[in-house]
Homo-oligomer: A and B are copies of this chain.
Amino acid sequence: MTSTGTDSRLKLAVLGSGRGTNLQSIMDACAGGAIPVQVVCVLSDVKDAYILERARHGGIPAEFVDAGPFRTKLEGAGEKRYIERLRHYGAEAVALAGFMRIVKRGLLDAFRGRILNIHPALLPAFPGLESWKQALDYGAKVAGCTVHLVDEGTDTGPIVVQRAVPVLEDDTPETLHARIQEQEHIAYPEALRALASRRVRIEGRRVRMGQKA
């Protein structure tokens, strides 16, 4: 996958801290031409995160970028380093894919309305960590995933795509999580297709796509 001057695809950076299964679904959708998106770089705050290896396997520039001394947020000098690398690669939008830090105003301002995150629950239900386990413990019969634009809150931004899955009688946290992840791998490319169409507009909290491209 190479960038050219006339390439009209959305230049996307992916940030992650873990295995990068959502990156894989995005890479697959890009490679198959299903979405007009080019992943220009993958950045991780974890030096040996598998997401970096996955990116390199796919021929995508991948870097560990030091996020600084805070464990759960991206702020200060660390934030500046991320913004610098994103600009270096010409990223127009950012997809968080298991990035275990809260993104703060500096990065939000640099990519206003163009940072997506995926959450393994039908928000506003079950924000926060291990939401598939929260859903199971609550006794929900429908679970799912949400791709949303990132704002200053945690799991609060305008929703682009949601996909539901049933919770089954004998589900364990693992079986439910796996069922949700299958839908994540459909939902994230769907949301990126919408963002890449450049027709997304926000009215109040409602994300509208307008006419299809």
Contacts and interface: CB of A to CB of B under 8 A. Distances in A.
Contact of A204 (B122, B137, B163, B204): B137
A48 B139 CA distance: 37
A141 B162 contact: yes
A209 interface: yes
Interface in A123-179: 123-126, 136-142, 144, 146, 158-164, 169
A208 interface: yes
A185 to B, nearest CB: 17
Contacts of A163: 142
A139 B206 contact: yes
Contacts of A161: 141
A124 B137 CA distance: 12
Given A124-B125, A209-B169, A159 B144 contact: no
Interface residues of A, number: 28
A169 B139 contact: no
Contact of A142 (B122, B137, B207): B122
Contacts of A125: 122-125
**Of A125, A163, A164, most B-chain CB atoms within 10 Å:** A164
A88 interface: no
B124 A138 contact: yes
Contacts of A204: 137, 139
Interface of A: 122-126, 136-142, 144, 146, 158-164, 169, 204-209
Given A124-B126, A139-B205, A169-B209, 4 more contacts: A124-B138, A139-B159, A142-B162, A142-B163
13 contacts: A122-B125, A122-B140, A137-B205, A138-B159, A138-B205, A139-B158, A139-B206, A140-B159, A141-B160, A141-B162, A142-B144, A142-B162, A142-B164
